Amino acid sequence: MKKALIFLLFGLASCASHRELKTVKSVDYFCGTQSVTLHLAEREEALLQLDGHEFFLKQTISASGVRYADKSEDVVFWGKGNEASLEIDKTIYPKCLEKEIN
């Protein structure tokens, strides 16, 4: 019984962390020398990819631009025009600039 419960809990955790989002637009940025991709999805959600890590974010209220954050506000991506700021676990990345398309 304990094994079944452990597998059930692990399965639920996996589903929560590997949600599939229907991407409507992807935008690539350079935050200093770090490459970042923001996949915008339906329902005001986004997936941020950085250095092999994925962060599921929700759009939050902002006075200007568009702001995405996780529930705990440990990951915040705030964009306006072709620039953005990124903070992860109190680490502030250099200004993010949208990659130019040639």
What number of residues does the chain have? 102
Higher-pLDDT residue of 14 and 70 is: 70
| Residue 5 forms part of a structural domain | no
Q: Which two tokens stand for residue 25?
A: 């637009």
- The pTM is what? 0.77
Hey, how many other C-beta atoms are within 10 angstroms of the C-beta on 48? Answer: 21
**Weakest-pLDDT range from 9-18, 32-41, 44-53:** 9-18
pLDDT, one tens digit per residue, over 40-93 is 998 899 999 999 999 999 999 999 999 999 999 999 999 999 999 999 999 999
Instruction: Count up the domains in the chain and report the number.
Output: 1
| Residue 12 forms part of a structural domain | no
Check residue 18 and give its pLDDT: 43
| Residue 4 forms part of a structural domain | no
Kindly compute the dihedral angle of the four CA atoms of residues 14, 44, 27, 79, in this order, to the nearest 10 degrees. -120
Using CA atoms, how far apart are residues 81 and 99, in angstroms rounded to an integer? Answer: 12
The answer to whether the CB of 87 falls within 8 A of the CB of 75 is yes
CATH number for 93: 2.40.128.200
Structural domain of residue 42, as residue ranges? 21-98
23 pLDDT higher than 90: no
